[in-house]
Amino acid sequence: MNAILHAQQLTKHYPGSIALDHVDFTANAGESIAIIGPSGSGKTTLLHCLAGILRPDAGAITLNTPSAPLRLDTLGDAALSRLRREEFGFVFQQGMLLPELTAVENVALALMLNGTDRGTSESRAAEWLGALGLAGMEQRRLGELSGGQVQRVAIARAQVTGARVVFADEPTGALDSATSNEVLDVLLRSVAANSRTLLVVTHDPNVAARCQRVVELRDGRIVSDSGSSSPASGQADRLAQAAPAAPTSFKGAFNV
Amino acid sequence: MSSLSMALRLTPYLARSSGSSLRETGLRDAGLPVLAFGTVTALLLTVAGGSQVFWSWSDDIAGTYQALAVVAMVLLIIPLLTLGASAARLAARRRDDRLASLRLLGANSATVVWMTVIESTVLAAVGAVAGAGLYACMAPFLGLIQFRGQAIGSHAWLSVPSILGCILAVCVLAAASAALGLRKVVVTPLGVRTRQTADGAHWVRGLIAAVVVVIGVVAMGMLSSFGAFIVIIAVMGGCFGLALLALNLMGPWILRLRASSQLKRAKRPEQLLAARTVLESPKESWRQVGGVAMTSFVGVFVGVGMAVADTMGPGATDETALLVRDINTGVMITLLGSFLMVACSAGVNQAAAVLDRASTLVALDRVGMPLKLMVAARVKAVMSPLFLVAGISAAAAAVLVLPLTGTVLLTQPVVFLTIGGVFAAGFLLVRLAVAAGTAQIGQVLARPERYASMDS
Ligand SMILES: Nc1ncnc2c1ncn2[C@@H]1O[C@H](COP(=O)(O)OP(=O)(O)O)[C@@H](O)[C@H]1O
Ligand SMILES: [Mg+2]
């Protein structure tokens, strides 16, 4: 197993509470990992630290890149921001898409921020939307899409740049259970088909059951970790096989 | 009105209960509306004080001066109303969490709206009093301005009742526009949201505008038949108002056309975002920058026209020459004033807009959108319509006086330099105000947990 993201003795305090208490954690390339635990146990804090959104008070975070390992905890704000848009993808419960943009523009924006020209960005964004079941809805604005469709746009946005790690914080938290399942399917399949690493914070046991590995937090500590050779991995392989076939022009985006 | 009395009882509680958090964020957020209302009040008092002397004259030419003073006031009142509405929205937004929790505690929507109106009126009152102070400081310098060859001197001082009346008027306008502006804001137990309404900017607006212009032209044509001088002034003021109305109908439509073409050509992310921001609500964009349209037109038209009249020299009487110079002075002051109004309103508007979508900005920061780019997109969304509006108006005026501009350019380049200087100063003012408004983005991102409660 090759580690892609590694955290050592991660600690984060807030006035009056300790959100992360000397956490050691390693994510392997291509794994799907569910982070579960009661509310306030530090799930979001862990995710944000690993993603370079929050700076830990103590501890080291290392991202293995093709060139050299990168220490996230020592990078400046601008470098972290760049890392987030180039190496990582995000799916939040809501709020990360711009309501005044169309679906395709929202997805293309992620590429444009990395310097891709607009034409290429929009055509690749449209391919992603098509692959995630939103063909024909490219020109709709967010207000004209259902909650589940909006989350598909977010999933496309998270991966269109070829992110190596996708972070999701309660991605289905605002959806009903049927839609929730569909969206989860789309997320897991597209991530697996592109061999990306997925870290998903969730309350939902169904979500956890469908990930290869489940990590449980309590009071800022990891109290259980199913490890990467869990029985659920068989299911993930099945998912990968059932993944939507990538259009040829897609390969660039899929093969990062 | 029980919701009003409830609001009256709750509002001071809201201000007191926030204690340290009010000191941290409330005062800073309140600064912008207070500053804006202060500037506006100072400006109104300055124009009123500067033109007061006109009403003490009773000769033939006095009427012309009085008419011009009325026009200047009309030009400044409209942006004032816009400002009032924006300030109220900002007041609602910066109280977001507390207003929402009051709703949770069972206060009804009307109570919450009343509280915001009261709060925004209080901010207006504080600003208006400060503005009156500013005016008092400026009055000695104002007295140095010359009309009809004489410094206005002590005429620059308004009577105390007039000043109080002006403060009261600003408060009333602030309250009224706050109430109107809040129609678009929904306070639910979950937070404060701006209601999204489909915002058409249809070509029908162009048609209505044309009809309005025709009515104005006809009325102006019949002007001489109206006899009484005061009626003529009223009709002129009315026609001027009609012209403004026509502009207001057409403005959003023009901004939309332009933003559509910018959207098609956009290459960089901030260009795309700025064009989409304008398209999202061309009316809102127009409200922010429309105030300079008429004044830009008048500024160039009168500025150039008067300069030409000035060069006619020997033939003109002393009195005419003085009138020419005075109109120029007044027009330039009004032009700068209208830029000042637009600047205030744009600054307040941006601050409100930033707080409005704070949780989205936090999310965008998290996915790696640079702060610089968020700011650049907002700046472009204001400045680009501003340049367009000022440019079109100035160009329209220039075309009308085109037969004259050529010679003026040769004989009096200083006229162009003056007008150019006023425009440059005006653009700079707006740019600074927008910078103050968008500085809120940095503050939002510095305390993301206040705004990003949705994803935990
Ligand atoms: N910005 C903050 N300020 C103060 N305390 C915080 C902040 N963010 C999180 N916490 C605290 O840290 C702990 C972990 O929070 P979080 O990571 O959001 O938990 P989870 O996502 O598991 O619900 C909680 O006790 C929470 O109250
Ligand atoms: Mg959380």
The sign one gets for the Cα dihedral B258, B263, B268, B271 is positive
C-beta atoms of A98 and B268 within 8 A: no
Residue of the nearest CA to atom 24 in ligand 1?
A40
With CA atoms as reference, report the closest residue to B301 among B396, B221, B216, B390. Answer: B396
Give yes or no for residue A2 having a pLDDT over 70: yes
Q: Kindly give the pairing relationship between strand A165-169 and strand A88-91.
A: parallel
So what's the pLDDT on residue A235? 45
Of A51, A95, A105, the CB nearest to B360: A95
Ligand 1 atom at minimum distance from A41 CA: 22
With CA atoms as reference, report the closest residue to A213 among A45, A27, A41. Answer: A27
**B90 or A200, which is more confident?**
A200
With CA atoms as reference, report the closest residue to B135 among B41, B31, B33. Answer: B41
Please enumerate in sequence order all residues whose Cβ is within 8 A of that of B1, keeping only pairs 6 or more positions apart, or say none. none
So what's the pLDDT on residue B315? 55
Distance CA A118, CA B275 (A): 14
As a dihedral over the C-alpha atoms of residue B297, residue B303, residue B304, residue B307, rounded to 10 degrees, the angle is 170
So what's the pLDDT on residue B13? 60
Return mean pLDDT, chain B.
Answer: 77
Give yes or no for residue B250 having a pLDDT over 70: yes
Give yes or no for residue B204 having a pLDDT over 80: no
With CA atoms as reference, report the closest residue to A23 among A54, A52, A61. Answer: A61
So what's the pLDDT on residue B359? 84
Residue of the nearest CA to atom 12 in ligand 1?
A19
Return mean pLDDT, chain A.
Answer: 87
Give yes or no for residue B317 having a pLDDT over 90: no
Which of A68-72, A159-163, B74-78 is predicted least confidently? B74-78
Q: Are B414 and B331 in contact (CB under 8 A)?
A: no
C-beta atoms of B360 and A100 within 8 A: no
How large is the average pLDDT for residues A119-135?
96
**B222 or B369, which is more confident?**
B369
Indicate the domain borders of chain A: 28-45+76-242
Of B273, B362, B368, the CB nearest to A84: B368
So what's the pLDDT on residue B95? 64
Give yes or no for residue A248 having a pLDDT over 60: no
How high is the ipTM of this complex?
0.85
So what's the pLDDT on residue A158? 95
Among A36-40, B42-46, B71-75, the range of highest mean pLDDT: A36-40
Of A88, A109, A169, the CB nearest to B269: A109
Which of A62-66, A244-248, B73-77 is predicted least confidently? A244-248
Selected residue of B276, B361, B367 to mutate for chain A interface (largest A Cβ count, 10 A): B367
So what's the pLDDT on residue B327? 77
Mutation test residue for ligand 1: of A10, A13, A43, A45, the one with most atoms within 8 Å of CB? A45
Q: How would CATH label the architecture of A28-45+76-242?
A: 3-Layer(aba) Sandwich (3.40)
Contacts of B360 in chain A (CB under 8 A): 95-99
Which run of H or of E encompasses A242?
none
Tell me the CA–centroid distance for residue A196 and ligand 1, in Å: 27
C-beta atoms of A105 and B280 within 8 A: no
So what's the pLDDT on residue B21? 42
pLDDT digits (tens, 9 = 90+) for A72-109: 999 999 999 999 999 999 998 877 899 899 999 999 99
So what's the pLDDT on residue A230? 42
Distance CA B13, CA B27 (A): 16
Which of B167-176, B237-246, B255-264, B401-410 is predicted least confidently? B401-410
With CA atoms as reference, report the closest residue to A44 among A220, A199, A215, A201. Answer: A201
Tell me the CA–centroid distance for residue A40 and ligand 2, in Å: 7
Which of A51-55, A154-158, A225-229, B117-121 is predicted least confidently? A225-229
How large is the average pLDDT for residues B61-76?
76
Which of A136-145, A161-170, B130-139, B219-228 is predicted least confidently? B219-228
> Which residues share a beta bridge with A167?
A90, A199
So what's the pLDDT on residue B240? 67
pLDDT digits (tens, 9 = 90+) for B389-417: 999 888 877 777 666 666 666 677 777 78
Which of A245-249, B38-42, B210-214 is predicted least confidently? A245-249
Give yes or no for residue A241 having a pLDDT over 50: no
CA distances in angstroms from B396 to B292, B300, B391, listed in the order given: 14, 9, 8
Give yes or no for residue B187 having a pLDDT over 70: no
Which of A112-126, A224-238, B179-193 is predicted least confidently? A224-238
How large is the average pLDDT for residues B322-339?
78
Give yes or no for residue A60 having a pLDDT over 80: yes
How large is the average pLDDT for residues B30-50?
82
CB A45 less than 6 A from any atom of ligand 1:
yes
- Global pTM exceeds 0.90: no
Give yes or no for residue B312 having a pLDDT over 50: yes
Which run of H or of E encompasses A62?
strand A58-64
- In a 3-state reduction of DSSP, which class is residue B11? helix
Selected residue of B256, B455, B456 to mutate for chain A interface (largest A Cβ count, 10 A): B455
Q: Compute the nearest-CA separation of B358 from chain A (Å).
A: 9
Give yes or no for residue A214 having a pLDDT over 70: yes
pLDDT digits (tens, 9 = 90+) for B87-125: 766 766 666 666 667 767 777 777 777 887 888 888 889
Residue of the nearest CA to atom 7 in ligand 1?
A14
Chain B nearest-CA residue for A166: B367
Chain B nearest-CA residue for A48: B366
As a dihedral over the C-alpha atoms of residue A68, residue A70, residue A71, residue A77, rounded to 10 degrees, the angle is 150
Distance CA A80, CA B197 (A): 37
| Percent of chain B with pLDDT strictly greater than 70 | 71
So what's the pLDDT on residue B42? 87
Of the pLDDT bands very low, low, confident and very high (cuts 50, 70, 90), residue A239 is: very low
So what's the pLDDT on residue B450? 74
So what's the pLDDT on residue A138? 94
| Percent of chain B with pLDDT strictly greater than 90 | 18
